[in-house]
Amino acid sequence: MFAVAFAYPHAADRPFDMQHFLHVHLPMGVALCRRHLGIIPEKIIVHGPLADGAGAVPILSAMSQVWFRTRPEAETFLQLFAVPEAAEKLIADFPRYTCGPPQVLIGTVTELGDMPLLCDQAESRGLI
């Protein structure tokens, strides 16, 4: 799996509108992706707000991960802002929920879901 991540900076004077992001921006983005690029993500995971270990002030208001089965699909998704209609709609929506455009990252996703197995591996390898 591959993910495109969007990291939204925190601004104390401009709260992030998570409800708008979840119920307006993301559905619009997925629909524009399907319409203009012919692909849709496998899933989207949203985190937020994100603070450092001390948990005081958030560093990021939100981070979303848009998951795809293949790297070519993830790279195609990155071309959405090259489509004039999609770029216009998405950019116009930024001020409705965030203080500015996100930082965009792409990478491989490795999902570890069997925690008992991980514990067994650590014990059998003498790691603990």
Backbone angles phi, psi at 93, to 5 degrees: -85, -20
Q: In the chain, how many domains are there?
A: 1
Strand-pair category, 2-9 with 58-68: antiparallel
pTM, 2 dp:
0.87
Predicted confidence (pLDDT) per residue in 12-68, tens digit? 888 899 999 999 999 999 999 999 999 999 999 999 988 887 767 888 999 999 999
The parent domain of residue 99 ranges over 2-124
Residue 27: CATH number of its domain: 3.30.70.100
